[in-house]
Amino acid sequence: MAKRSKKKSSKIPIPILIIIYGTLLFAVYQGLSTIILSIFGQTTIGIVDYYSNRIEDRTADAGRSRSIIKEYYFTVDGKTYRGRVFYLSDEAWPALKEGETRSEYIRYLPVFPYVSSTSSLSDFSDMTDGQIIYNIFIPIGCVGLFVLIRMFQRGAIKQDRGAAARAAAREAKKALNTTAKEENIMYCESCGTKLSAEAVFCINCGMKTQEDIPVVCSVCKTALSDGAAFCVNCGAAVSAAVSAPVPQLEADYSEAPAVNGSGRAGSVGFSDVYYSPEIQEEVRKKLKMSAGLILAVLILPNIIFPAASLIRDDYPMRDALFYGVGLSVILTVFYLTFRLSLRKPIWEGQVVKKETKYKYKHKDDDTTVPVFITTFIQDSGKKKTLTEWEQECWYSYFSVGGRVRYYPALGTYEKYDKSKDRIIYCNFCMMMNQINNEHCKRCNKPLFK
């Protein structure tokens, strides 16, 4: 028997990942260090003790025909620091002879002089617009590429795990069938009950197990359809394990609500709808959409402010970068806080207090508006407060002493006892629905009942 070829993993190999991440980190360092040196750096006179230039391409664009290497040192507060730069340029200075040096302006970071570069590469006043834009977008592009690689890796890991689980299930089923054949037994495909190899029907559920044997009632000899549990003529049970027909009736929940936690209208107990594949897929989509915000947070401020500097002569590029990078940092902090809040665990607790206060809507306005405050105590003992301005949505829905569950990924709550309710809120769009509805009439998502 030919051995099945092993499916290759779609993940990126770890050695290649290390090389990619190392390259991205170096590029991010180069771009950020240039921006930081231009904004916060100081200039001093340094000594170049090694210089080399080599022709790379005579037909290259301007400023890219030669590769330049410089090694230098400078002194700050009596301590000597060394640095090295590599860049492309058209400059063709003669190489330094042994013991020969040349003076050049060096820009360094006062709080950490080890971060340094030549002034021509780190001072915006000495750089072209193309060099400035390049150093701005290199860190942004690298961070975006890092996010894309991480998303690809996670998808590949999930895919490999799913393939492994399916392969394990196939192997388990194969082993089970092999063992069954060896022991002259089989298993019901409907309920999994262990049967003898000669069994025509399952002794547990009455399901027909051998398709090539006709189904005939043992009492009246009437021919029966495949899968029949009872005779259509005399009502006798096809399987000896079933003594009498037990019809399955669909309960009518339109008049009185159920109180058995079954997910029907007015149930008592927390719903398990959140853990269904449909809802989990919606939660994953929401997390993916929020992940895309990080690119906008990093890119937009660093496009708008430098663009304004290029258009307006009275708006220095240094100020534009300072405001752009600063705004990106602030927005990133807000984004990470929001992202972490979505990944917090689900908690359950009890409503311990409800109160209404009146506060000024604006500082310069004497008009007051109602503020509805609901206080919870989590099962862990922590106190949580829900504040609603002007509209009393959850405030009216909850009762003091009632239990609730909070879903951080959705930002909504669920009541434990819904047996006396006539309405229920959708956990996705907050639409008010009749308690008998199974799906929201606005977004068609399942209701947590």
Residue 164 vs residues 1, 158, 177, 284: alpha-carbon distances, Å: 22, 10, 20, 22
**Residue 24: predicted pLDDT:** 83
Task: For Cα atoms 127, 130, 133, give the angle at the middle one, nearest 5 degrees.
Answer: 95
How far apart (Å, rounded) are the C-alpha atoms in residues 118 and 104? 7
How far apart (Å, rounded) are the C-alpha atoms in residues 14 and 20? 10
Place of tokens 């309920």: 191
**Residue 195: predicted pLDDT:** 75
Parallel, antiparallel, or unpaired for β 403-407 and 347-360?
antiparallel
3-state DSSP assignment of residue 320: helix
**Residue 38: predicted pLDDT:** 85
pTM (global) more than 0.75: no
* Amino acid sitting at position 275: Y
CB 368: neighbour CB atoms within 10 A? Answer: 11
**Residue 449: predicted pLDDT:** 82
What are the average pLDDT values for consecutive 10-residue runs of the chain, which has 449 residues? 49 80 82 85 91 82 82 91 86 83 90 88 76 78 80 74 72 64 65 70 69 62 66 64 38 38 60 85 78 71 77 70 78 79 86 88 76 92 89 87 91 89 89 88 88
How far apart (Å, rounded) are the C-alpha atoms in residues 306 and 129? 10
Q: Closest Cα partner for 298 from 326, 339, 277?
A: 326
Task: For Cα atoms 29, 294, 304, give the angle at the middle one, nearest 5 degrees.
Answer: 80
**Residue 252: predicted pLDDT:** 38
- pLDDT tens digit string along 42-99? 899 999 999 988 888 777 777 778 888 899 999 998 899 998 888 888 887 888 888 8
Q: Residue 408: phi, psi to the nearest 5?
A: -60, -35
**Residue 254: predicted pLDDT:** 36
Beta strands in 318-411 (DSSP E): 347-360, 368-378, 383-389, 403-407
CB 166: neighbour CB atoms within 10 A? Answer: 10
CB 105 within 8 A of CB 45: yes
The residues, ordered by sequence, that sit 6+ positions from 129 with a Cβ below 8 Å of its Cβ are 310
Query: Length of the chain, please?
Result: 449
**Residue 392: predicted pLDDT:** 80
Radius of gyration of the chain (CA): 36
Q: What are the residues facing 268 on neighbouring strands?
A: 417
CB 88 within 8 A of CB 68: yes
How far apart (Å, rounded) are the C-alpha atoms in residues 146 and 140? 10
